[in-house]
Amino acid sequence: MREIVFHLLVVVCVLGGTLSMAGALIWLERRLLALWQDRYGPNRVGPFGLFQPVADAIKIFTKEDWIPPFADRAVFVAAPAVIVVTVLMSFAVVPFAPGVWVADLNVGLLFLFGMSSLGAYSLILAGWASNNKYSLIGGLRAAAQTISYEVFMGLSLMGVVMLAGSFSLRAIVEAQQGVWFCVTQFPALVVFLIAGLAETHRLPFDMPEAESELVAGFHSEYSGMKFGMFFVGEYLAITLLSALATVLFFGGWLGPVLPPLVWFVLKTGALICGIILLRASLPRLRFDQLMSLGWKILLPVALLNIVVTGAIALLGK
Amino acid sequence: MTVIFYLSAIIAVAATFLAITRTNAVHALLYLAVSLLAVAMVLFTLGAPFAAALEIVIYAGAIVVLFVFVVMMLNQGTATIRRERAYLTPSMWIVPGLLTLVLFAELVCVVAWVPEAAGAPAEAIGPKAVGMALFGPYAIAVEMASLLLLAGLIGAFHLGRRDEE
């Protein structure tokens, strides 16, 4: 009985924690961007503008929720839900601290790949269902981008799986007791972060929305809370990417003195700030540059990493 | 587990049926994706988590996405839907229906006469066991599949290459 209660508590905390994290990130990103661009950012609502996300949420909930008459209604409504659901599902296999996880699947990493590839449907379907040429181009770009970068993301993590000897995220964290994988698997870390950014279609890889050429890309026709779902989904995806990098490369909850959960949150937070700094400092790539970066540089690096890691693992036996 | 198995099996069959009968190509593909997800659930309940995960990653996550990609590029309008509707006349169903009936009868016979074939294994088979089997007794099949993929890759490269003159 106590175990069931504990499990339900973890589920509720993960759900509440990640969703409020998404809200907090919207504030954090705007403040940090302002800091790096030498301006104030939102500082009017509450202390340091902390209640800005609340004001935003009230606004977005009370806006008119309009579905264009030319859109494919059912798909148009379903598309924004897909991205939020798949990202939240992914958090189910993330181990936050010893014993604190929703599920410890022995195919945990593959489950994550599955969820991230299903997340691609959200953008593609939104682009198609909007029945608008800018949305369609955004959707097409999203499809090509996510399918290609999923390949590099998967391949880059195979070295980690080889060293840990398991697809389970708990086992991967425990395998980093001695040295973190960010040292032994450095090329994999670089490929993973680039591919992860492309998967979450953040700047410098936000070609699917590219407001300067495609209005707002796949979500041009969305308004109100349906647009809000895409927005929240993006920030959830950033949190997921940082949490995954922490688990896979930076030793998860491992660390001296402080309790494990604090270490996990600190590492994830630092990575999130890094991702925001990337947005503040890099311009958007061109779409063909994105594709050639992936297939001509990231793919060979990831494959080479697998071969070298495999050879060293074999020699070490 | 048994309840989940039958539930996902029913969803798989129903989604596949809807995928065949939809006249809008994107809707049909979405039902196909649902059907593949349900099949993944079936594999999971049968004790094959690795196969279930790959089913989602490769079929639902990559191949059907590529189908949707192509259908989006074709930009089919109401004319295509009308033509599709004309295809699906009742007389169209007779021959495929008969063939499927024969297959179904065969399946019923197999399940009825060989009871071991229908049971689930006692425990789940993890990724490690699948890998050992693939690169042990089934190594030749893996190599043949990789040759096939290589041929496809070279073909795609040849077709996609620009003429340099």
Sorted by where each begins, the domain ranges of chain B are 2-92, 126-165
CA angle A265-A270-A276, nearest 5°? 125
- pLDDT by residue (tens digit) across B116-132? 544 555 567 778 888 88
What ipTM does the predicted assembly reach?
Answer: 0.78
Q: Is residue A49 part of a domain?
A: no
- More confident: A48 or B115: A48
User: Which one-letter amino acid corresponds to residue A288?
Assistant: D
Distance from B24 to chain A by nearest Cα, in Å?
11
Distance from A139 to chain B by nearest Cα, in Å?
9
For A100, the 3-state DSSP assignment is: strand
Cβ neighbours of residue A57 under 8 Å, at least 6 residues apart?
Answer: A23, A228
Q: Is residue A80 part of a domain?
A: yes
Which residue in the set A114, A125, A144 is minimally distant from B61, CB to CB? A114
| Residue from A26, A13, A15, A146 nearest A88 by CA | A15
Q: Is residue A103 part of a domain?
A: yes
Nearest residue on chain B to A111, alpha-carbon basis? B53
Q: Is residue A251 part of a domain?
A: yes
Interatomic CA distance for residues A167 and A175, integer angstroms: 12
Interatomic CA distance for residues A201 and A234, integer angstroms: 8
Checking if the pLDDT of B18 tops 60, the result is yes
What is the overall mean pLDDT for chain A?
Answer: 84
Supply the pLDDT for residue A185.
83
User: Which one-letter amino acid corresponds to residue B9?
Assistant: A
Residue B114 pLDDT grade (very low, low, confident, very high; cuts 50, 70, 90): low
- Average confidence (pLDDT) over A248-259: 82
- Average confidence (pLDDT) over A250-264: 82
Supply the pLDDT for residue B116.
58
Interatomic CA distance for residues B91 and B26, integer angstroms: 25
Interatomic CA distance for residues A23 and B123, integer angstroms: 42
Q: Which two tokens stand for residue B7?
A: 């539930």
- Chain B residues with CB within 8 Å of chain A CB: 24, 26-27, 30, 33, 49-50, 52-54, 56-57, 60-62, 65-66, 68-69, 72-73, 75, 124, 126-127
Interatomic CA distance for residues A231 and A208, integer angstroms: 14
Supply the pLDDT for residue A62.
86
Q: Is residue A212 part of a domain?
A: yes
Q: Is residue A153 part of a domain?
A: yes
Q: State how many domains chain A has.
A: 1
CATH of the structural domain B2-92, one choice from 1.20.120.1200, 1.10.3260.10, 3.40.140.10, 2.40.240.10: 1.20.120.1200
- More confident: A107 or B154: B154
The domain containing residue A234 runs over which residues?
67-316
Q: Is residue A61 part of a domain?
A: no
Interatomic CA distance for residues B25 and B22, integer angstroms: 7
Report in angstroms the alpha-carbon separations of A204 from A245, A317, B52, B107: 19, 41, 34, 53
Q: Which of B43, B72, B146, B157 to mutate to test the interface with A (most CBs of A within 10 A)?
A: B72
- Average confidence (pLDDT) over A103-126: 84
- Average confidence (pLDDT) over B61-77: 80
Supply the pLDDT for residue B120.
53
Q: Which of A77, A113, A169, A296 to mutate to test the interface with B (most CBs of B within 10 A)?
A: A113
Name the least confident of A68-72, A114-118, B57-61.
A68-72
Distance from B1 to chain A by nearest Cα, in Å?
16
Which residue in the set B56, B66, B126 is minimally distant from A106, CB to CB? B126
CB contact under 8 A, B72 and A140: yes
Residues, chain B: 165
Interatomic CA distance for residues A154 and A148, integer angstroms: 10
DSSP annotation of A285: P
Residue B145 pLDDT grade (very low, low, confident, very high; cuts 50, 70, 90): very high
- More confident: A276 or A101: A276
Is residue A181 within 8 Å of residue A189, measured between CB atoms? yes
Supply the pLDDT for residue B130.
83
Is residue A100 within 8 Å of residue A6, measured between CB atoms? no
Quick one: CA dihedral A175, A189, A309, A307, positive or negative?
positive
Name the least confident of A83-87, A150-154, A213-217, A258-262.
A213-217
DSSP annotation of A236: H
- A107 phi, psi to nearest 5 deg: -120, 35
Is residue A248 within 8 Å of residue A157, measured between CB atoms? yes
- CB atoms under 10 Å from CB of A70, counted, come to 9
